[in-house]
């Protein structure tokens, strides 16, 4: 389990996170939701240790972050950070050199899943295929928790569907996925847990299916309550 406990974060005098707490389990998809600027990316960066926090703690499988626990995490940012003149194959070789956790068999599976051609140069790819390469490079690492920032941003409906399909495939296995997205409709049926952020803290943390069954509300219905009272 990944546990974010009472985390606070300030940029200058601006308090962006004000006591954020939630958990994310292995084998589940946890979705961080909130309007622009609410702090979703900042939370991911805090979990990854990419930005210092001003208070609170983060536990990974019950342990405070160390180099060993850090290797349980992989981050897929909202844009591909790879030299554009590389081919997909060269990008994979680069990752394999850089990360001990690189799993070439899974990378090959992902290439097939997304119907990508490893000879293609990154600079020539469509937005949708660039997003798929970005996911491939992250998901091919053996890590227990995968953090994805806006994997659907700016891509067409069919690529979004293909990306959503990866969540229910063997390529995710029993890993924990933490995702931020504004495209909730695309993955509402796949999400296990929802963490709604507002005013720097967690407004509500709930199981999406329980909410549907017990209160008859979709994730978007809950969001409307928060943002359009």
Q: What number of other Cβ atoms are within 10 A of residue 147's Cβ?
A: 25
Tell me how far, at minimum, the Cβ of 90 lies from ligand ATP, in Å.
Answer: 30
What Rg, from alpha-carbon coordinates, does the chain have?
18
The residue (of 16 and 133) whose beta carbon lies closer to ligand ATP is: 16
Please report, for residues 42, 163, 196, the alpha-carbon distance to residue 213 in angstroms, rounded to integers and kept in the order given: 32, 26, 19
Tell me how far, at minimum, the Cβ of 147 lies from ligand ATP, in Å.
Answer: 12
The residue (of 40 and 160) whose beta carbon lies closer to ligand ATP is: 40
Q: Which two three-digit tokens encode residue 76?
A: 């897929």
Give the residues lining the site for ligand ATP (CB under 6 A).
11, 16, 34, 36-42
Q: Are 152 and 118 in contact (CB under 8 A)?
A: no
The residue (of 146 and 195) whose beta carbon lies closer to ligand ATP is: 195
The residue (of 17 and 125) whose beta carbon lies closer to ligand ATP is: 17
Tell me how far, at minimum, the Cβ of 155 lies from ligand ATP, in Å.
Answer: 16
Tell me how far, at minimum, the Cβ of 1 lies from ligand ATP, in Å.
Answer: 23
DSSP readout, 9-60?
Answer: EEETTEEEEEEEEEEE-TTSEEEEE-STTSSHHHHHHHHHTSS--SEEEEEE
């Amino acid at each position: 389990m990944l546990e974010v406990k009472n985390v606070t974060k300030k940029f200058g005098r601006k308090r962006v996170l004000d006591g954020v707490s939630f958990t994310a389990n292995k084998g589940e998809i946890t979705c961080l939701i909130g309007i622009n600027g609410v702090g979703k990316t900042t939370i991911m960066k805090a979990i990854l240790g990419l930005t210092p926090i001003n208070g609170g703690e983060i536990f990974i499988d019950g342990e405070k972050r160390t180099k060993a626990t850090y290797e349980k995490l992989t981050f897929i940012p909202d844009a591909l950070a790879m030299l554009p003149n590389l081919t997909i194959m060269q990008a994979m070789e680069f990752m394999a050199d850089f990360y001990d956790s690189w799993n070439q068999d899974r990378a090959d599976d992902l290439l097939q899943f997304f119907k990508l051609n490893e000879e293609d140069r990154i600079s020539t790819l469509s937005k949708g295929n660039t997003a798929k390469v970005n996911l491939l490079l992250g998901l091919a690492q053996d890590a227990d928790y995968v953090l994805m920032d806006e994997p659907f941003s700016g891509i067409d409906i069919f690529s979004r569907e293909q990306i959503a399909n990866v969540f229910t495939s063997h390529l995710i296995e029993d890993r924990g996925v933490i995702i931020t997205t504004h495209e909730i409709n695309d993955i509402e049926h796949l999400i296990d847990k929802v963490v709604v952020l507002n005013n720097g803290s967690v407004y509500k943390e709930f199981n999406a299916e329980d909410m549907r069954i017990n209160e008859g509300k979709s994730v978007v219905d809950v969001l409307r309550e928060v943002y359009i009272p």
